[in-house]
Structure 1
Amino acid sequence: MRLSPRPRQGHPPTAPSSGPPRGPRRRLICSTLLGTTIEFFDLYIYSLAAGLYFAELFFPGASPAVSLIASFGTLASGFLVRPIGGMIGGHFGDRYGRKKVLVASMIVMGVSTFCVGVLPSYQSIGLLAPIVLIVARLTQGLGAGAEWGGGVLMLVEHMSKNRRGFWGSIVNFGTWVGIALGTLMFAGIAALPEDVQLWAWRVPFIASAVLVFVGLWVRLGVTETPVFVESAQQTRGTARDRRPLANVFRHHKKALLLSVFVAMGAGTYQIYSTFATSYAHELELSMSTILMFQFANALFAMGVTLFFGWLSDRTGRRVLIITGSVVVIPAAYLLFWSLNSRNLAMVMVSLLLVEIGHSLVCGPMGAFLAEMFETGARYTGVSLAYQIGGGAISGLGPLIASSLVSAAGGPPHVYAVPLIVVCIAILTAVGAFLAPDRTRLPLAEVGVDKAGPQQQPAPLFP
């Protein structure tokens, strides 16, 4: 019988630096990738449907501008409850394990998305239609709140510390796979006659059930992270074990605040993707063309997100996040100038430029946030930070943007909208600058009682 090597005297056993064996590793990667893909497929098809169809189907009777604002209001409601989902998922994920929560979140999101797809319109059931739509959206938001943080931790807590940036970027790679799938489906729907579009938008919502079943089958076969298992054995029965949320607010207040600022950088896509697509519709530009541009941009984002995640393992996370925050500002102004000018070639160029800035932030983000919290509070801290910054606050973007344009008199008065991107970028850069860069610190050594020279902020330019 082959025995594992005995650990050297005075040193605890350590997991292999390369992570789990190849078979379980593949299942783990597929599980996380599918989970994030489903999450953002569900969220993004709702965003597109809210911008293109829900105003007419669920909020008729008001002016087009008011109906659109009401439709984006339901979109924002789902983002506003995501921190609650993050708190619930984080509590159970830090107490009982990451895997159980991720299975539950996938089921909740899948059921609520399917319900939106079969929901009758206002014309059929009256006021009950928008009420049920809001309930389904809130439920979707609760499920989504627990997904992203758990997906990040399943990878970065399993894998080698030398490649955490790359493995953490797999989660945001899955984000863009979901967005690309949703965009491609809606590009096809937008090319259909208008009367067909009014029921065809339901197809992606109903089809998401198939993705959920596949995702559950893969996810049920993964193992719990070794970092969590070891931490749970050490803290079982203590106050930190019983109250991870209190632990975050008591011992990690600064880390949480800075992490929220950094996570806000993920939300710029709500402006250059969700709102910009709706704005192009108001300008009566070809929706099939704009959606194909967004699809091409999503494919581009997949590659650059992985690249910048990989690069952050070599340069450190902070410098990339700050650089990306600078790049998105002029690119956002260029995008809306291009839309108003109806210069489709420049629309595509500006989308690629703004995506470079966005991916500079999002590629390293998963690992960066995970490195801010100790293991017993990590699911709660990461989920809260991302769902407040990248969820609740950023989810208000399309609602605020459409209100600004409406107050200014409608298109082409859109140039106050990029100021939202400016505010997000400044806060993201400040958060990254003030936070410690723990790129090369083992996750097991991140903790409130382990202060030392390794945990001090690294130089901005390594």
Structure 2
Amino acid sequence: MSNTALRPGSVRRLVSSTVLGTTIEFFDVYIYGLAAGLYFGQLFFPGANATIGMIASFATLAVGFLVRPIGGVIGGHFGDRYGRKKVLVASMMIMGASTFLVGVLPSYEAIGILAPILLIVARIAQGLGAGAEYGGGVLMLVEHMGKDRRGFWGSIANTGIWIGISIGTLFFAGLTRLPEDIQMWAWRAPFIASAVLVLVGLWIRLGVSETPVFVKAEQQAKASKRERLPLVDLFRNNKKAMVCAIFVATGTASFQLYTTFATSYAKEIDLDVSTILLFHFLNGLFAIALTLFFGWLSDRTGRRPLVVIGSILVVPMLYLMFWAINQGNLPLILLTLLVLEIGHSMIYGPMGAFFAESFATRARYTGVSIAYQVGGGAVSGLGPLIAASLLAQAGGPPHVYTVPLIVVVTGALATIGVLWAPDRTGQPLIEDEDCEEPSESEPLSSEARS
């Protein structure tokens, strides 16, 4: 392969494609979680008390997270067989269509039991599309770039998550200041507006080239006439890596608790939800900088110490946050949210690079997708539902102090996973040791651009 430097415009398009993809994914997921906690109980599950309605709404949220591993398997298989780009285009289209459907869906009052059924169908489709997005988005950057700054490039992919969350939070912070009768239909606006983001994202993504690492692996497979079955390769040669990666991904479960569940809980105890959402917006902006910083830092310290410290830090902070909510202490709520984000970003910043370094090229998309969607998707997505159930079992507000036990378990799993896995910071990607990785100034091969 020749080493022809990638033009700055192509780099910008590559970064924009990845960031927009994760922005759309998490904008869609986050606005669904907020709408589920604030409105769906009344609209789609009328007749239940507030806590039961919250549990039912969060159950529909959890369904989407539970199917994400299936989307990861499907997307990963095709992404490892036929290329990252094709799957990413399809995932964006599926996410956009399903989110738009939620925005135009009639309520229970209009169409009866069909309303919650269609809501679940749309959420399942959203989960399948999202399941294929993250792994490919991270690999489009990590596989294009050199090994010395892999943590930084992987963290750039993750910044789209916070951009999507920040936009969604800003929508709902304004929405919750409106009269309640207007809120009950205006919540649909961000779901419908997401179609614009999808169209822009597709236009950018269609102009991005395939990764040189995948192109090289595909050439080798054709030369050896080897039939490539990514899922078989994954469980035959990457079993330990899969377990470690899933464990590390569960460390992100704190996010759903201090955002989605905490917002719903604040509403239940009549705290000013619009103020809490503004706090989340500020926290999202803070998280963009934190994610980049800890991704950059992990290239110097390794991934391991950051994940361990972050997993420990979120536990006491979550207890303190719920105490502050019960006391109505807004300054302390904001402070605990900021510290929680530091702990969460210490895991999230290096995670994209950690995943990519864990798996061989021919099973990497499948491995990254399954690991993230099982640990960071299904387990994390169950967090609000489990938290709401623990709250109900404890007798409702203010008895919320069993909820942080969730992050005690997930933090322990993340620590075990990162300590058990080898730290491959700064090393060539697995099975690519015999070919030179592109440098920072020469990130793309001429074959990959054709």
Shared fold per TM-score greater than 0.5: yes
Q: Give how far 1:20 is off.
A: 2.8
Partner of 1:206: 192
Partner of 1:304: 290
Report if aligned partners of 1:297, 1:352 keep a CA contact under 8 Å in 2: yes
Partner of 2:445: none
Partner of 2:441: none
Give per-residue Cα distances to partners, 1:208-265, cap 9 Å, x unaligned.
Answer: 0000000000000000000000011112387974310111011111100000001112
Give per-residue Cα distances to partners, 1:38-66, cap 9 Å, x unaligned.
Answer: 01000000000000000000001122211
The reply on whether 1:288 has 2:274 as its aligned counterpart is yes
Q: 1:142 aligns with which of 118, 128, 141?
A: 128
1:85-104 alignment, distance < 5 Å: 85-104=71-90
Distance 1:191 1:150 in 2: 38
The reply on whether 1:233 has 2:216 as its aligned counterpart is no
Report if aligned partners of 2:69, 2:374 keep a CA contact under 8 Å in 1: yes
Pairwise CA RMSD of aligned residues?
Answer: 1.5
Q: 1:323 to 1:259 in 2, by over 3 A?
A: same
Report if aligned partners of 2:144, 2:211 keep a CA contact under 8 Å in 1: yes
Partner of 2:37: 51
Counterpart AA for 1:432? V
Distance 1:288 1:203 in 2: 17
Partner of 1:9: none
1:60-75 alignment, distance < 5 Å: 60-75=46-61
Distance 2:33 2:430 in 1: 38
1:44-443 alignment, distance < 5 Å: 44-236=30-222, 241-443=227-429
> What secondary structure, in the 3-state scheme, does the structure 2 residue paired with 1:412 have?
coil
Report if aligned partners of 1:20, 1:158 keep a CA contact under 8 Å in 2: no
Counterpart AA for 1:407? Q
Partner of 1:7: none
Q: Give how far 1:266 is off.
A: 2.0
Counterpart AA for 2:109? Q
Q: Give how far 1:179 is off.
A: 0.2
Higher relative contact order (CA 8 A, sep 6+): 2
Q: Give how far 1:103 is off.
A: 0.2
- How many pairs were matched up? 435
Distance 2:387 2:430 in 1: 42
Q: Give how far 1:393 is off.
A: 1.1
> Percent identity at matched positions?
66
Q: Give how far 1:181 is off.
A: 0.2
Give per-residue Cα distances to partners, 1:392-420, cap 9 Å, x unaligned.
Answer: 11111000000110111100000000000
Q: Give how far 1:136 is off.
A: 0.1
5+ residue gaps in structure 2? 436-450
Counterpart AA for 2:311? S
Q: 1:325 to 1:238 in 2, by over 3 A?
A: farther
Report if aligned partners of 2:292, 2:349 keep a CA contact under 8 Å in 1: yes
Distance 1:237 1:101 in 2: 24
Report if aligned partners of 2:228, 2:362 keep a CA contact under 8 Å in 1: no
Q: Give how far 1:288 is off.
A: 0.8
Moved more, 245-254 or 148-157: 245-254
Report if aligned partners of 1:55, 1:70 keep a CA contact under 8 Å in 2: yes
Moved more, 57-66 or 284-293: 57-66
Q: Give how far 1:330 is off.
A: 1.0
5+ residue gaps in structure 1? 1-12, 451-462
Give per-residue Cα distances to partners, 1:273-306, cap 9 Å, x unaligned.
Answer: 1111111111110111000001011010010110
Moved more, 437-446 or 191-200: 437-446
Partner of 2:440: none
Report if aligned partners of 2:249, 2:376 keep a CA contact under 8 Å in 1: yes
Distance 1:15 1:331 in 2: 48
Report if aligned partners of 1:241, 1:376 keep a CA contact under 8 Å in 2: no
> What secondary structure, in the 3-state scheme, does the structure 2 residue paired with 1:371 have?
helix
Distance 2:226 2:91 in 1: 24
